[in-house]
Homo-oligomer: A and B are copies of this chain.
Amino acid sequence: MKATIYDVAKEAGVSIATVSKVINGKGKISEKRRKEVLKIMERLQYQPSMIASALTGKKTYSIGLLVPDISNPFFSEIARSVEDQGHQLGYSLIICSTDNKDERIEKYIALLKQKKVDGIIIGTGSDQLDVLNSLSGTMPIAAIGREVPDVDMHTVVVDDYEGGRMAARHLLELGHTQFAVLSESLKLISSRERLRGFSQMLMEAGIEWSESMLKICDYRVEDGKRQALELFRQDSVPTALFCCNDMLAVGAYQAAKQEGIRIPSDLSVVSFDNTILATVTDPPLTSIAQPMEHMGKLCVDLLVDQLKIGNVAVMKQRVVLRPELVERHSTAPL
């Protein structure tokens, strides 16, 4: 049987209260006793049960991470940084792939509540705010990479608007004048903002931009390809394409290849996210990088700070990080 606090106490000839105190470094314990107890803990290979301490101490030292799909490179990279920072601070990570389905979101949230996780990081979208809203009252939550309007929580995002501008600026500097955009659903604030930044920048450059050059896709590569094909088969062919994420850019690559359009000589492509995919395509993608590592770390820090304060009603921060243009070889002068 595994050693319990009772075994240690008995062996050391002290009370379990004393042992508990040396474990947690609380209260005053004479140095002599402390060392004795520590030695015995060592000898018995005693590891406190986190279950028992959770039941009394109120913390489980685990947090949940809600993402659409852990197998999507963007989210797996986010997950890695969240995991690392969490681990650093003593928290384990429970991953929850929601497929952006409300049903799965609700089920996972109920589960996380039952497991009494200390907090939840939300990287998934939901039309149904009720769930999140009711959450924010009862449990520390924070959002990463997603804006969730009207929900009171810490939020860490990249400056999507500025990212859109950067993409446009880069393309403009290369001399392009015929633009197209592949975007995810405009229900997502991030997509809207990227598009808005992009359009705004073009407008400032005096470029008019037609609605017909915007295609909305779901999140899959295939859909990116399909929409890109439609784009390429229209009358006016763009020379520059902005894709709202790397996955869509991959779809666009496939479409371009199929149509005999060469990147970057015929078509310059800028994508968003800068996941591993951006380094794997040929040519490698010029991408607006989200600082995923930084975002994960920061989000965990904010959440954990909130846990410590213990007050759910702390001032919530909205941290907006700067994106960065990573130039590779998918863009070229006109």
Contacts and interface: CB of A to CB of B under 8 A. Distances in A.
A2 to B, nearest CB: 8
A95 interface: yes
Given A92-B111, A95-B83, A97-B84, A116 B50 contact: yes
A115 interface: yes
A207 to B, nearest CB: 30
B277 A62 contact: no
A96 B87 CA distance: 9
Interface in A45-76: 47-52, 54-55, 60, 62, 69-73, 76
A240 to B, nearest CB: 20
Given A71-B76, A80-B70, A94-B93, A49 B114 contact: yes
Interface residues of A, number: 45
Interface string A273-292: 00011011110000000000
Interface of A: 47-52, 54-55, 60, 62, 69-73, 76-77, 79-80, 83-84, 87, 92-97, 108, 110-111, 113-116, 221, 250, 253, 257, 276-277, 279-282
Given A62-B94, A70-B76, A83-B95, 17 more contacts: A48-B114, A49-B55, A49-B114, A51-B54, A52-B55, A69-B80, A70-B70, A70-B80, A71-B73, A71-B76, A73-B276, A76-B79, A80-B97, A92-B115, A94-B94, A95-B95, A221-B280
